[in-house]
Amino acid sequence: MICSEIKEFTVPYLELDLEPVRVREVTIHLDGCAKCRAEMEAVRQVLVRVKGVTVPDPGDQFWSEFPGRIRSELAHAQMKGQGDVTPLRRPISARSWLGTAMWPMALAASILLLIGAWSLKGLVEKGPVQAPTEQTVAQAPQGSQDLPHPTDADLETYWDDDPDTVLVEMAARLDRRTVDRLFGDI
């Protein structure tokens, strides 16, 4: 092997990427050629120095935010109609569901249902209409005195004629404390 041929094998020789036969030929040449040995050493130094160049780690915060930034840009691109992305399905949590615009409507519907149930319960269970006595008021559970009274004759009288008005009247009697107690867990 001559000097001009050695150049071609310098890098693979240093990277142990040569066939054993070639390695032997290069080694024999290097043993007898100071100029090629110097060339080989120069290339070795370059490779060592190049390999030593590091990339600084941008830090934990960058990496923790990285997927979110991709997701955000992906969603933006999807909205613009780019690509062929299948929208990701996230697990549906109670928090995310309540975060939508549906919850005020659901709350209102719940209030109306409860009021309706109270009214119907009073109509079905009670016999002849009686005026409230001090005793029945005193026996009422704590915190229930601000509720529409179950023996409210006026409301029962008007129920058959105009139930909507009765419901509105009963709803008007609900104070903040009662609403909080009823729906505090929602």
Partner 1 sequence: MAQAGEDGMESDTQLLDRYAAGEEPAFEELVRRHKKTIYDLAYRMLENHADAADMAQKTFVQAFLHHRSFKRESSFRTWLYQIGLNLCRNAIRDRARLAHEDVEEVTLTAPHDTFAEVANGELKDRLGEAIRTLPTRQREALVLRVYHNHAFAEIGTIMSCSEGTAKANYHHAVDRLRLILVAGEGLP
Which range, of 88-96, 104-112, 116-124, 141-149, touches partner 1 by CB under 8 A?
88-96
Is the Cβ of residue 34 or residue 124 nearer to partner 1 in the bound state? 34
Q: Interhelix angle for 20-32 vs 34-51, to 10°?
A: 120
State in angstroms the smallest separation of the CB of 117 from partner 1. Answer: 40
DSSP 3-34: HHHHHHHHHHHHTT-S-HHHHHHHHHHHHH-H
Cβ count within 10 A of residue 140: 14
Q: Which of residues 19-78 bind partner 1 (CB under 8 A)?
A: 38-39, 41-43, 45-47, 49-56, 58, 62-63, 66-67, 69-71, 73-74, 77-78
Question: In the 8-state DSSP scheme, what is residue 64?
Answer: H
Number of residues assigned to the chain: 186
State in angstroms the smallest separation of the CB of 139 from partner 1. Answer: 55
Instruction: Write phi, then psi, for 154 (nearest 5 degrees).
Output: -60, -45
Binding residues for partner 1, rule: CB under 8 A, are: 8, 11, 38-39, 41-43, 45-47, 49-56, 58, 62-63, 66-67, 69-71, 73-74, 77-78, 82-91
